[in-house]
Amino acid sequence: MKIAVLFDGAGLARKGLEEAGHECVGVELDPRKHHLSKALGSGNSVLCGVKDFDLSGFDAVWASPPCSTRSSAIKDLTGNGGLRDPVYQQDHLGWSLSIQKPILWVENVTIQGSKGNDWGTAYNAAQFTEVPIQNRNRIIGGSHPAPKVFRPYKRWAGHGICPCISATEWKGCATDRLRASRFYGRKLTIQECAHHMGLVIPPSWFDIPDWFLPDVKQKSRAVHWGRNLYEAIGNGVPVYMARAFGEVANV
């Protein structure tokens, strides 16, 4: 199939779908993440807003809209999580779910409270590798066949399995006992974070583009670029997870 991967980020979901044999085009608005995506897999990614991109020539769509306003890790003043936050109404989840395609995946975080997750099915990244390497709970909505998994869904797949790789692993996550760095008792390297996502980092990812913070000292640029890599990996979709959905999909 020809698949549009919306909110492409650094291209992890696109790479998984390509490994499943599909032709993909990523769509990403952040130039930092788009730069990384161009170096991953086919590199077929465009710098564009998702609502400005023509979907008419595609058989299927994968969408991973921004999730921070709905994450179960965030609570509004009423204690309802992001679900009732006014910002939630402005994000791209509803728009993504309304896309009319025979095959549609909409991937996002779980929301605190079961009612907020009834738009899709809960999966854990631990279901998608023979030996679990990460607990990463996500809701997948839309219209698509169920993927093949190694084990039934459990929110926590057992002791000794890495918690979710977060976008803030660059901090070391010293205050959050559920994050990966805290679990290992140290800050994970960028490569280690990528491993849990099923990704081997292209060497070019470590080359800082000339346009990135050109007026900042080289050491500071390197620090900020490293943070960009951590965030791009932590915000991504595990390659092996997207591949499993792609392997059973066909129009």
- 136 with 167: CB under 8 angstroms? no
Residues 6+ apart with CB under 8 A from 228: 32, 33, 36
The yes or no reply on domain 2-247 and CATH 3.40.190 is no
* pLDDT attached to residue 69: 52
* pLDDT attached to residue 158: 86
User: At residue 213, what is the residue type?
Assistant: L
* pLDDT attached to residue 66: 87
Per-residue pLDDT of the chain (251 residues; tens, 9 = 90+): 999 999 999 999 999 999 999 999 999 999 999 999 999 999 999 999 999 999 999 999 999 998 755 544 444 333 444 344 444 444 688 899 999 999 999 999 987 666 778 899 999 999 999 999 999 999 999 999 999 999 999 999 988 899 999 998 998 876 676 678 888 888 999 999 999 999 999 999 999 999 999 999 999 999 999 999 999 999 999 999 999 999 999 86
* pLDDT attached to residue 74: 42
Q: How far is CA 61 from the centre of its chain?
A: 15
* pLDDT attached to residue 238: 98
Q: How far apart are alpha carbons 127 and 131 in whole angstroms?
A: 9
